[in-house]
Structure formats: C-alpha cells, structure tokens
Amino acid sequence: MSTQSFDSAYPFAKRSTLEYELPPFAEITDAHYLPAFYAGMAEQLQEVDAILATGAPTFENTIVGLEKSGQLLNRVALVFFNKSSSDTSDFLDEIEAEIAPKLAAHSDAIKLNPELFARIVALRDAAPSLQLNSEDAWLLERYYRDFHFAGAHLTQPQRDELKVINEELSVLEATFSRQTLADTNDLAIIVDDLAELDGLTENEIATAKSAAMSRGLDDKWLITMVNFTGHPLLTSLTNRGLREKIMKASILKGARGNEHDNKTTLVAMAKLRARRAALFGATNHAEYVLWERNAATPAKVHEMMRKIAAPAVANAKREGADLQAAIAADGGDFELASWDWAYYAEKVRKARYDVDTAALAPYFELERVLTDGVFFAANKLFGLSFVERPDLVTYHPEARAFEVFGEDGQKVGLFIGDFYTRDSKRGGAWMNNLVDQNFLLGQLPVVCNNLNIPKPPAGEPTLISFDFLTTLFHEFGHALHGLLSHVKYPRVSGTSVERDFVEFPSQVNEMWMLWPEVVNNYAYHYKTGEKLSPEIIERINLSSTFDQGYATTSYMQAAILDLAWHEIADGQDVKDVEAFEAAAIEAYGLTYPPVPTRYRTTYFSHIFAGGYSAGYYGYIWSEVFDADTVEWFKENGGLKRALGDHFRAELLSRGGSLDSMEMYRNFRGRDAVIEPLLRRRGLLS
C-alpha cells in the first residue's frame, strides 16, 4: 500500500491542543494513519538510540527515557486501533494488514535489543542502592519483565526466529479479526414474514426492520449475528424453526469453508504460539503466558476450574430437566435443544420467580440508565459528575463525549460512549483509551466504551435487554479504572494490570445495577413513567442463581477450549478443529448438547485477536476478587462514599503501579477467598 511522506502539519505530529488532548478527529483522515505510523516508529528508534548514547544507565536516562519515547507512535496507534475496531472499512483493513507486522517488528527491535536490555538488567541489579520509591521500583521491575518476557535474554538465533514468529502472528491475528467480522455480517438472518417474529416487542421488530432497510432490504426484517454463541432474541421468539436457524448460524461464524473460514488461520496461530513458547523453554504457550499472570501456572488454573466444572454441569443438567418439563407442559414433544434453552428458561424463571427478564426492557431506556443509573452510581461512590459535550468531535457521529468532573469541580477526564452496533464495528463490548492518564506527561484520561446495542429507528427510544444492562455497567467499570487512574507513568496507567486481574473492577461495578438506591433512580417505564416495583427487583435478586448452571458451563467450555489450544506442544498439528474442540470439552466432563460453548474456536476473538490467549479463564479468576469485594461492600453498607474512596485510593487509582495481589491485600486486608464466588453461582450446597 503506497503512502505519502509524513508532514509536520499532520494531526498526529504534535500533542493535541484540544481539551484533554482529545485527538483532532475533525482533521484526521484515513490518509494520515500510515505516514504517522512509519514516522512514529522511526522517531522512537531514534529516541532509543539517544538513550543508548547517554552513558552509564540511570533510572532517569533509561527507564524514564523509555516512558517518554514513542509518543507520536502511541498517539496514532491509540486512535487507529480504536477506529479499526469500532468503525472499520476496507481501507483501514488494508492499513492494518500492512502495519501489523511492521509494528511487531518495531516492538521486537526495541525489546530484543541486547544493549538496551543490559542497561535495564544493570539498573535492576543495582536497585537496592538507587533509593527508588515504590512506584519507580515497580516500574523498573515491569520493564525488566517486559523485556525478559519478550525474549531479550535469548540467544541471537532464537531472537531472529522469534521476530519472524511475531510478525507472522500479527498478520494472522489481523486476518482472524477481519474474517470474523465479515462472516458475522454475512450470517445475518433475513426474515420475510412478520409473523415469524412473534414474541418480539414492537421496539425489537422495529430494530430488525431498520437493520434490513440499512442493507436495502426494505420489505424484510434482519436479525444480525452477535459475536458469541446464540442471540438475545432467543429468549422471546416463539417460532422454534427461526430459533434453530439463528442458533445454527451463530455457531458457523468462521467455519463455513468459504473465504472467511478461520480454521487454517487459527491452527497456524496455535502452532506458532507453541513454537514461540518452546524458544523460552516453556512446555506450551499457556505456561509461557501464565508466567506473567497472577495464576502463575496452568496447573493452578486447572485446579480452580475443576472445582467449578463438575458442579456447574450438574447444575446445568438439573436446569435442563426443568426446561424439558416446561416443554412437555407447553404441549411440546421434542427434546430440549440449544435453541430452546433461553426461551424455556424464561418461562421457568417466570413461573418460579414471577420474573420475565424479556419484558423488563421498557424499564431500561438507554439514556435514563446511563445518566440516572451508571453515572448516578459513580457520583454516589466517587463524587463524579458528567456533562455531555456535543461540541466535541469524536471518531464517529454516534460516539458521544462526556466531560467528567470530581466533587470539587476539578477536571477528571473525558468519557466517550459508543453504544450502537453497526456493520463496521466488531462484535462484543470493550473499553479502550485514547489518552492514558499520567503525571509524567501531564495528561488526563480519555476513555471509550463500545457496546453493540441494536439501534432503533430514528425517534424511537433505545430499550435495552437485561444482558445489555449488565454489559453497560460492566464496561463502565473498566472506564472508571481508566478515569480514576492517578499514577506517574503511562506504562502503569489505568487498566495496565495483569490480564487475569483486569476484569475485577468492571465486574464489581455490576453490583450497582440492582442496588436499591440506583435501580430506583433509573428503572421507570419509558411510556407510563411507572417505577419498576421493588417486588420485581427482589424477585430478580432471588433468581440470581437461576440458570447459573447454563451460564457457568457455557463459559467453562470456552475457557477450556482456550487452554486446550494453548497447551498443544511445539510441533503438534491439529487436523480437525471440530474434533479437537469436542475432545477438549469432553475431557473436562462438560459435554452437554443443550448447552453450547459461549465461543467456538472459529469466532473466539478474545483468544485469537483480542489479547486473551491462554487467559480467558481470567473472567472467573477475577470474579473471585469481585465476589469477595461485593461481600465487603455489602457488609459495610454498600453505596457509601467512604467505601468508594477506599476502593479508589487502594485499588482503582493505582493502575498497575503496584503488584495486583499487594493492591488487593491493601484494599481488603487479606487475600481473596473463593466461597463468595461459589455461593454467587449456586455451586455451594
């Protein structure tokens, strides 16, 4: 792909002069990215050369020098990868295909530089005499681990092979992501007859109509696929044939033998990761990855997972028996299948607890949930306030900017919410930064939340499902981790913690979703103004362990697939992806046909395109800390400012500036225990 030379007048050339250093999106065009990437890489290599020329290593000239390096590259990378995830195009895909291996090679040129690593090793060896404060000492240790984990200690032939592997993996990861999005879009279900949508709300039907019209299918309805197995609409669609069609389409993503098939790509990635691990002396990729995680070893992960697997699938089978009885009571003479589960689970939930979560959407109108729920809880807990800034130009017209203030009116940062699905946005929900908070460069945070809520027709309210409600609070927990960061160095800002710890703050934030003071502030019927009754909320809480057998088993299956793919040995080949999947799940005793894995391998973007390789277990590992923390909040009075201040001071504000386990002990006064998690998921007798 040809590119023009970098111009010093380009948007990325200097730090933004806009408020909060918000990138100048009104000026940025697609043509600016590649020149900025190449200029940024060249500039950082010059900065590294300058570090090497400074004489004897000091913390200031080496570690702080590295922290200050690469600012141009960082600016363009943060903007580009946010844009390519949330609003991609063929042109951006081409840029990513070209730049991914170049970025991998650039990173290796720095982290595999033996002279630079020698300076870091010398400083680490001399650390006791350097009189560093705790944050500086941890930053030095992080840099040593970063370089060691990257392979700086390897022999020259090993480093040369590693560079080739890293470049190949970067290309394959971009390919997997691109093919998954394309196949997800192609697998959307076209509905010809309105009668087939029986059971859906007016708003859901209007959303399907709007999606069809956006693709030129004016006389149809369109059900777009989501990134995980199944679909939210399966809870309410009465047409069993359509439910089956949706479920079967959802598990075909990336596995149809067409131009978007991911099987060859993912097998190649697994083999390359195994080979890379062998260079480091690790048995497999999982062992290599877990050296840098709280779990430390695959054996510890398996130990925890096996405590959960057997009771989870036993619960799921008991739930399945209840659903089979509901099918019989409904006059059905068929065996429970995966496309029936959500529909009949709602029937059983309603009969048992008098709760129909599918009917709650009119009480969860997006604008009210956001301002009177998500923002309200953050105000009560941390003293934050939010003011929308429609005057600020973001990367997409649907991405909205909110200025965030502290209790005394001081500026905290910017929050950008991009809530709606579109064909140009990858599936799922996530948080990322456009600017990392740090004192070294004097920057306040700019953080984004991306969701994939179906967009209703113009003028209609956005009524969200119970699942999307949970996701909204969850992702905002990540945003708070970024917004409340209070650290000196960019390397340890915000969510820069171990992968199996990063989900913990976001999971904690879910607790406020149904906290009485919060839910009573936002859950009003969008038409009548009727308040969601406390009795319904209580029944929702009572049903919290309902269907947890399904949820836990489905999640566990995916976590096991992740580990299985990343415990293959160097040189091991996988000929049949489907057979490999089935064997891995069966080996854990998790095979139960009505409960499909949350992600099949061919669309498991978390592990093949999202940085979670050998780390998907981290959601439930983090949930141990989350459940323990939720109990602490409840035991001490819940939504109290003093509790929020303690959580913020000891944990959220520290980013990755301290060992995560030490942070948790400082916050909780002890290590986390697993019993609250088992209790939450109904796995304790």
Residue 435's alpha-carbon distances to 8, 75, 82, 413, 635, in angstroms, are 21, 8, 11, 9, 36
Tokens of 316: 């799921």
In the sheet with 446-453, reading across from the earlier edge strand, the strands are: 385-388, 400-405, 411-420, 446-453, 430-435
Decide: 622 and 509 in contact? Cβ < 8 Å.
Answer: no
User: Which residues have C-beta within 8 Å of that of residue 659, sequence separation ≥ 6?
Assistant: 138
DSSP assignment letter at 92: H
Decide: 365 and 526 in contact? Cβ < 8 Å.
Answer: yes
Task: Name the nearest CA neighbour of 528 among 355, 365, 353, 354.
Answer: 365
Decide: 364 and 463 in contact? Cβ < 8 Å.
Answer: yes
* DSSP string across 8-40: TTSTTSS---SGGG---TTT--GGGHHHHHHHH
Tokens of 401: 């900017």
Which residue intervals of 566-640 are DSSP H helices? 577-587, 605-608, 618-635
DSSP assignment letter at 438: B
- Give me the catalytic one of 96, 475, 503, 510: 475
Residue found under tokens 């059900």: 223
CA dist., res. 325 & res. 331, Å (int):
10
CA dist., res. 12 & res. 113, Å (int):
27
Residue found under tokens 């650290």: 487
Residue 156's alpha-carbon distances to 102, 159, 161, 193, in angstroms, are 20, 5, 9, 65
- Report the DSSP pairing between strands 385-388 and 400-405: antiparallel
Decide: 505 and 478 in contact? Cβ < 8 Å.
Answer: yes
Backbone angles phi, psi at 543, to 5 degrees: -90, 15
Question: How open is the CA angle 565-470-634, to the nearest 5 degrees?
Answer: 105
Decide: 188 and 226 in contact? Cβ < 8 Å.
Answer: no
CA dist., res. 116 & res. 106, Å (int):
14
User: Which residues have C-beta within 8 Å of that of residue 195, sequence separation ≥ 6?
Assistant: none
Which three-class secondary structure state does DSSP give residue 401?
strand
Tokens of 240: 């069993």
Task: Name the nearest CA neighbour of 603 among 88, 159, 230, 55.
Answer: 230
User: Which residues have C-beta within 8 Å of that of residue 422, sequence separation ≥ 6?
Assistant: 87, 398, 455
475 labelled catalytic: yes
CA dist., res. 210 & res. 222, Å (int):
8
**CA quadruple 674, 676, 677, 678: dihedral, nearest 10:** 90
Tokens of 390: 């429609």
- Report the DSSP pairing between strands 446-453 and 411-420: parallel
Which residue intervals of 330-426 are DSSP H helices? 338-353, 366-369, 375-382
Question: How open is the CA angle 649-129-69, to the nearest 5 degrees?
Answer: 65
Task: Name the nearest CA neighbour of 617 among 506, 498, 471, 513.
Answer: 498
Active centre residues (catalytic): 475
